[in-house]
Amino acid sequence: MTAPATLAEVLTVEHRAIDEGIEKFVAASPGGSVQEWAAPLVDSMDALRRHIYLEEELVFPQLRTGPLMMPIMVMLTEHGEMWRRMAALDAKLASDGVDQEPHRSEAVAACREMLELLDSHNGKEEPIIYPHLDSDMDDDSQAFLRDFLTDGTTPDGWECERAAAR
């Protein structure tokens, strides 16, 4: 029997799945409806908002005292940057002619930047923060997080701590 996935593994898999949706949008060839074209990006942004929610509300409060305080501050700042970029992408997707040039290329370019930001963020979060998930979070918090990962949703209107530019 294989051991159940650790929380670090589950959250790392979410990183990859979010990347894949954005990459799919970037690689898509023209054609089809806007809705169809944008679906992988919209799904990834929903998943990323939920991922940021669970990190900021269910994970970081457990770890932010002690040696991880500074790295978590960096994570929060980067989440804020992602949050604003997602809002800008939402606005772009909702505008007329987003699948026509030059809007289409602009949306794709914004997604490439988002992928770079995610790569840099996840490249720190996975080695620095995630090893602590399974060792330093208390049992109740781990159980709560596992339940949330199964069917939890981002509360309506929730915004990440640093959503506003400063």
Question: In the range 106-145, which residues lie near Fe ion by CB under 5 A?
Answer: 125
Q: 41 with 111: CB under 8 angstroms? A: yes
Q: Please name which of 114, 121, 133 lies closest in space to residue 11, comparing C-alpha atoms.
A: 133
Query: Nearer to Fe ion by C-beta: 107 or 129?
Result: 129
Stretch that binds Fe ion, among 48-56, 95-103, 104-112, 139-147 (CB under 5 A): 48-56
In the complex, minimum distance from the CB of residue 79 to Fe ion, in angstroms, rounded to a whole number: 6
Stretch that binds Fe ion, among 51-59, 60-68, 102-110, 144-152 (CB under 5 A): 51-59
Within 8 A by CB and 6+ apart from 124, the residues are: 71, 74, 75
Query: Nearer to Fe ion by C-beta: 99 or 125?
Result: 125
In the complex, minimum distance from the CB of residue 11 to Fe ion, in angstroms, rounded to a whole number: 6
Q: 125 with 72: CB under 8 angstroms? A: no
Compute CA 158 distance to the chain's CA centroid, rounded to the nearest angstrom.
Answer: 14
Q: Please name which of 56, 76, 63 lies closest in space to residue 164, comparing C-alpha atoms.
A: 76
Query: Nearer to Fe ion by C-beta: 75 or 89?
Result: 75
Query: Nearer to Fe ion by C-beta: 28 or 79?
Result: 79
Query: Nearer to Fe ion by C-beta: 107 or 133?
Result: 133
Q: 162 with 77: CB under 8 angstroms? A: yes
In the complex, minimum distance from the CB of residue 34 to Fe ion, in angstroms, rounded to a whole number: 29
In the complex, minimum distance from the CB of residue 130 to Fe ion, in angstroms, rounded to a whole number: 8
Q: Backbone dihedral region of 158: left (phi > 0), alpha (psi from -120 to 50 degrees) or beta?
A: beta
State the DSSP string of 8-24.
HHHHHHHHHHHHHHHHH
In the complex, minimum distance from the CB of residue 15 to Fe ion, in angstroms, rounded to a whole number: 6
Stretch that binds Fe ion, among 36-44, 54-62, 91-99, 139-147 (CB under 5 A): 54-62
Binding site for Fe ion (CB under 5 A): 55, 125
